[in-house]
Amino acid sequence: MGIEQIVVEQLSAGIGVELKGVDFEAMAPTRPFIDLMKRLLDEHRLVLIRGQKIQPVTAQEFTGNFGPLLDIKRQGSGALHVPEAEWIKVISNGKTADGQLLGDGNSSAQIWHTDSTPWEAPVGHIAFYCRQTVDPAPETYFMDMIKVYEALPQEMKDRIANVRVIHHWFPRQIEPEIHLNAPSQPLEDRKIGTLHPLVRRHLGTGKPILYLPTRRDSLIPGMDEAESRALLTELWDFVDTCPFKVGHAMMPDDFLIWDNSATVHSRQGWDADKVRIMWHISAEGEVPIPLHPRRTMNTIGLDADTSKEINKAMAMVDY
């Protein structure tokens, strides 16, 4: 069984493909299949494969081809997760008969976000494998942030070319109620975080990505609070108007993997008394590389005094 039998179909005009004719358990360890999946993710950002019987070790090892695997389980919860698979985080609002949590999570809807942006090297790729869902099954939505950037007016592209944003931690920031009603953290706390470019370079293609913090009250060095919020709100409002998205209701045995660096995702909520169970595996990506890095001039070969004067002048440039 080889990759020549695989049929690739568009999920939508905006993002994603679905593969048919796949036996994931058999193909996942093979180099041709791994290379195909890497190419499709670079081109389409998301790949869906339905109806797969996948062992935990297979899911982990395959996702590990995209970067070092990360333990993203919530600390101290005592959740069961998958005992024989240390890198699988179970996303679930359910409990065992004796009250033990099956995993991390709840049934709340989620707003558009990219996972782990406050990290220096955020998650690069994420795999989902559905084990149990509810009726009706909630949809998860994905947006292509490379295409969103391409659609920005040139004036906005010029305006944000060299902008950096502080990505600070905010508990449960992806839940709609928190997003809408939770007060901002104190200004000094929002100054603590990882500085990332608003426009980062996609590792696989070299294309620009609009890379937004989840919180609209994140701070932009060189701007005051009001200016920072106004710009980030304007950009998120633009994202909401874009058509480069797809929704999928995960069903049992669906396997989905996406490029977390170049997408945002959201989801519908469901009744809290119904249980949904997902496996979630994250692979580390690279430190975000700005599309327009700030460089000093090349002073190699110049005398020390001239070099010092040039770099002093460059340091005064207003980005």
Per-residue pLDDT of the chain (319 residues; tens, 9 = 90+): 689 999 999 999 999 999 999 999 999 999 999 999 999 999 999 999 999 999 999 999 999 999 999 999 999 889 999 989 999 999 999 999 999 999 999 999 999 999 999 999 999 999 999 999 999 999 999 999 999 999 999 999 999 999 999 999 999 999 999 999 999 999 999 999 999 999 999 999 999 999 999 999 999 999 999 999 999 999 999 999 999 999 999 999 999 999 999 999 999 999 999 999 999 999 999 999 999 987 777 888 888 888 888 777 766 444 3
Residues of the domain holding 40: 3-284
Question: Cα separation of 14 and 12, whole Å?
Answer: 5
Overall domain count for the chain: 1
Up-side HSE of residue 150: CA atoms within 13 Å toward CB? 11
In a domain, 310, yes or no: no
Residue type, 116: S
CATH number of the domain bearing residue 255: 3.60.130.10
Amino acid at site 92: S
Q: For the purposes of burial, counting CB atoms within 10 Å of the CB of 274, is it exposed (0-12), middle (13-18) or buried (19 or more)?
A: middle
The whole-angstrom separation of Cα 127 and Cα 105 is 16
Q: Which of 143, 104, 126 is nearest to 266 (CA)?
A: 143
In a domain, 100, yes or no: yes
CA distances from 226 to 114, 150, 197, 235 (A): 23, 26, 19, 14
What angle (nearest 5°) sits at the alpha carbon of residue 63, between those of residues 283 and 115? 35
Residue 130 tokens read as 């559905």
| Long-range Cβ contacts of 3-8 (<8 Å, 24+ apart) | 3/27, 3/30, 3/32, 3/33, 3/36, 6/36, 8/40
Among residues 69, 67, 93, which one has the least CA distance to residue 79? 93
Residue 216 lies in a domain: yes
The answer to whether position 66 is within a domain reads yes
In the beta sheet, which residues pair with residue 107?
none
What confidence score (pLDDT) does residue 64 get? 98
Q: Tell me, rounded to whole angstroms, the distance of Cα 231 from its chain centroid.
A: 21
Q: How far apart (Å, rounded) are the C-alpha atoms in residues 81 and 252?
A: 17
Give the per-residue pLDDT at 317: 46
Looking at residue 235, the DSSP 8-state letter turns out to be H
Q: Is residue 130 part of a domain?
A: yes
Q: Is there a contact between 110 and 264 (Cβ–Cβ < 8 Å)?
A: no
Domain presence at residue 244 = yes
Indicate the residue type of 281. Answer: I
Report the distance separating Cα 294 and Cα 317, nearest Å: 10
Classify residue 261 by its DSSP letter: G
DSSP code at position 262: G
Please indicate, yes or no, if residue 178 is contained in any of the structural domains. Answer: yes
Which residue, 115, 80, 139, is CA-closest to 281?
Answer: 115
pTM: 0.93
- What the block records as the tokens of 12 is 């939508």
Do the domain assignments include residue 90? Answer: yes
Q: How far apart are CA 63 and CA 83, in angstroms?
A: 18
At 107, list the tokens. Answer: 């049934």
